[in-house]
A and B are shown apart, each in its own frame.
Chain A
Amino acid sequence: MTDSTLTSLKLRGDAFIAKRRRQLVVAALVFAAVACLPLGIRDVYLQNVLILTLLYAAVSQSWNVLGGYCGQISLGHALYFGIGAYAASVLYVNYDIVPWFGMVVGGVLSAVLAVGLGFMTFRLKGHYFAIATLVIAEIGLVLVHNWDFVGGALGIQWPFGQDSIWTLQFARDKVPYFYFALGLLVVVWLVTYFIENSRWGFWWRAVKDDPEAAESLGVEVFRSKLAAAAVSAFFTAVGGGFYAAFVSYIDPESVMSFRFSLLFALPAVLGGIGTLWGAPLGAAILIPLTEITRSYLGGSGSGLDLIIYGALIMVVALAKPEGLLSLFTRKSGGKA
């Protein structure tokens, strides 16, 4: 190799590092701007919407690790969300263990379960995998319904107590929840950011694009899927644990119904799967829309919000199959 090619290789490497650094700066600015929102928004209802938006952004980004980067479309993430919610609730209500710890327990349980289920389901391809995840989550829902230890169909009510950062109970002021949700999103975003440029991240994308070619290049296809499932399930469950603390009352339908699985997948699909900003962007559009339709058109029982999602997804699928984020990144030709 000549000196000039060496120099050009080095320049390419430097350009890449500069691009990665730029992404971090943009993220810092975006998250800082979002962190300022509660200063201007004092309305509790709007704060509520913001908190849910951040939570769904974080969980959808977790879904995106498995569905977007690794290409394994799960329609059963409500299972992990529910496990997180139930682990935090049972440990707190029955054993007085702080939800911070309960969330992590739920996360670890979910990750282990995801690996176990992955051993069976990752032999399935495409739609069959998605159907299997959906069915397994429904089985989980039925089990929890009939499991008295976790409250059965009645669910679990968190006791009212002092506002405390330890118990994550804030009856008077929603703002701490806002910062927790934002913190969770930042953590998940950073995890995605670092994994994206690691060997695992590359392996996942190779598995998504062409598993057989990936295998021939030394990629451990099966192990890659298991790793993606574990990371994805862990953070989904942490989100579920937080949600339980936030709403203070859970029952099977309110944390594990199919609706949630859909709501975790849709923001990523709408914004752009396998990207750093697709899920947050999708959540920022979808979740406020959901809340607005709910308050103006009545509860979620009508299913009207689901019709709106369906319509949105169809529009995106037809007009911008790569997701809305591609509107912003088209020029650079790269991924965001």
Chain B
Amino acid sequence: MTSDILLETRGVTQRFGGLVANSDVSISIKRGEILGLIGPNGAGKSTLFAAISGARVPTSGSILFEGVDITQMPAAERCRLGIARTFQVPRSFDSMSVAENVMIGAFVRHANSTRARAAALEVLDYVGLDGRADATAGQLTPPEKRRLEVARAIATEPKLLLLDEVLTGLTPSEARLGMDLVRKVRARGITVVMVEHVMEIVMQLVDRAIVLNLGKLLAEGSPAEIVRNEDVITAYLGDRHRAA
């Protein structure tokens, strides 16, 4: 494989009893891109996300990161290799300060806590949370918590950042700030994969989108191609998009 492929899934299938959540999904993530992973509810986005992030080992198929098979690898080890994620419902360490939350991520690269603290403060400055460094994570507003999740993940110095619906449920102005943050993340040289349900926002942000439907790969291409794709429109966008 050429080196501009950062991660690929080969025939990833996930069964839950009789339900097939992912069926033979093969996708590639290119180095440096912002990739949108979209699809209607129940399309299998979260399942694929779990397989890539290491939360669940798929029933069959394999996942390669920089050519290395990581299908069976635990999440902590993937993190050291350079895969970081956020959670759909923010999961901050609420007994710790914001800076300490980010330090947990920084400890992957810095064994010394003084260095980890310095790295964490730098990341907080980068994502615009430096003013809240000493607050307890539990005191943050929901958008701030999302920002903290991203900061924590960046602190692990990943090559690939998986964002699980970071823009969902935000007000339009909050979402715009979120989009700016995603662009800043990419500017650091980090490849970004965004799982999103709300297509309107994602399409302005991503270089490329992959659409899943009923567990299968439905389409992939640039945002412009996706919104014109007949299959996608029928499966997912429906009348809502045509009206828009």
Interface set of A (CB-CB < 8 Å, partner B): 1, 5, 8-9, 12-13, 16, 197-199, 202-203, 205-206, 208-210, 212-221, 274, 333-335
Interface set of B (CB-CB < 8 Å, partner A): 53-55, 74-76, 79-80, 84-85, 87, 91-97, 99-100, 103-105, 107-108, 111, 113-114, 116-118, 121-122, 125, 130, 133-134, 136, 152-153, 156
Q: How far is the CA of A205 from the CA of B96 in the complex (A)?
A: 8
Listed A/B pairs (8) with beta-carbon separation below 8 Å: A12-B99, A206-B104, A209-B95, A210-B91, A214-B93, A215-B74, A333-B136, A334-B97
Chain B residues, CB < 8 A from A208:
95
Chain B residues, CB < 8 A from A333:
134, 136
Chain A residues, CB < 8 A from B153:
217
- Whether B96 and A199, one on each chain, are in contact in the complex, defined by CB atoms closer than 8 angstroms, is no
- Whether B125 and A5, one on each chain, are in contact in the complex, defined by CB atoms closer than 8 angstroms, is yes
Chain B residues, CB < 8 A from A16:
117
Q: How far is the CA of A135 from the CA of B184 in the complex (A)?
A: 53
- Whether B95 and A218, one on each chain, are in contact in the complex, defined by CB atoms closer than 8 angstroms, is no
Which 5 A-B pairs give the minimum distances between C-beta atoms? A218-B79, A218-B108, A209-B93, A213-B91, A9-B121
Query: In this complex, what residue of A is CB-closest to B139?
Result: A333
- Whether A220 and B96, one on each chain, are in contact in the complex, defined by CB atoms closer than 8 angstroms, is no
- Whether B95 and A202, one on each chain, are in contact in the complex, defined by CB atoms closer than 8 angstroms, is no
CB distance from B126 to the nearest CB of A (A): 8
Chain A residues, CB < 8 A from B80:
218
Q: How far is the CA of A274 from the CA of B79 in the complex (A)?
A: 27
- Whether B125 and A9, one on each chain, are in contact in the complex, defined by CB atoms closer than 8 angstroms, is yes
- Whether A202 and B107, one on each chain, are in contact in the complex, defined by CB atoms closer than 8 angstroms, is yes
- Whether B91 and A202, one on each chain, are in contact in the complex, defined by CB atoms closer than 8 angstroms, is no
- Whether B113 and A217, one on each chain, are in contact in the complex, defined by CB atoms closer than 8 angstroms, is no
Instruction: A12-B117, A197-B113, A218-B79 are known; give 8 further A-B pairs, CB within 8 A.
Output: A9-B121, A12-B121, A212-B55, A216-B84, A217-B156, A218-B76, A221-B76, A333-B136
| Chain A CB within 10 A, most for which of B53, B55, B104 | B104
A215-B76, A216-B85 in contact; A274/B134 too (CB < 8 A)? no
CB distance from A113 to the nearest CB of B (A): 26
Q: How far is the CA of A197 from the CA of B53 in the complex (A)?
A: 29
Q: How far is the CA of A202 from the CA of B93 in the complex (A)?
A: 11
Tell which of B54, B91, B104, B136 touches A203, judged by Cβ atoms closer than 8 Å.
Answer: B104
Q: How far is the CA of A214 from the CA of B152 in the complex (A)?
A: 10
Q: How far is the CA of A217 from the CA of B161 in the complex (A)?
A: 12
Chain A residues, CB < 8 A from B93:
205-206, 209-210, 213-214
Chain B residues, CB < 8 A from A205:
93, 95-96, 100
- Whether A217 and B105, one on each chain, are in contact in the complex, defined by CB atoms closer than 8 angstroms, is yes
Chain B residues, CB < 8 A from A12:
99, 117, 121, 133
CB distance from A331 to the nearest CB of B (A): 13
- Whether A202 and B76, one on each chain, are in contact in the complex, defined by CB atoms closer than 8 angstroms, is no
- Whether B133 and A202, one on each chain, are in contact in the complex, defined by CB atoms closer than 8 angstroms, is no
- Whether B113 and A202, one on each chain, are in contact in the complex, defined by CB atoms closer than 8 angstroms, is yes
Q: How far is the CA of A9 from the CA of B104 in the complex (A)?
A: 18
Query: In this complex, what residue of A is CB-closest to B100?
Result: A202
Query: In this complex, what residue of A is CB-closest to B85?
Result: A216
Chain A residues, CB < 8 A from B121:
9, 12-13
Query: In this complex, what residue of B is CB-closest to A211?
Result: B91
- Whether B96 and A198, one on each chain, are in contact in the complex, defined by CB atoms closer than 8 angstroms, is no
Q: How far is the CA of A13 from the CA of B54 in the complex (A)?
A: 34
Tell which of B75, B111, B113 touches A215, judged by Cβ atoms closer than 8 Å.
Answer: B75
Chain A residues, CB < 8 A from B99:
12
Chain B residues, CB < 8 A from A221:
76
CB distance from A9 to the nearest CB of B (A): 5
Tell which of A203, A209, A216 touches B53, judged by Cβ atoms closer than 8 Å.
Answer: A216
Q: How far is the CA of A191 from the CA of B130 in the complex (A)?
A: 31
Q: How far is the CA of A70 from the CA of B192 in the complex (A)?
A: 32
A197-B113, A274-B95 in contact; A218/B125 too (CB < 8 A)? no
Q: How far is the CA of A9 from the CA of B96 in the complex (A)?
A: 19
Q: How far is the CA of A13 from the CA of B119 in the complex (A)?
A: 11
CB distance from A86 to the nearest CB of B (A): 36
| Chain A CB within 10 A, most for which of B95, B96, B153 | B95
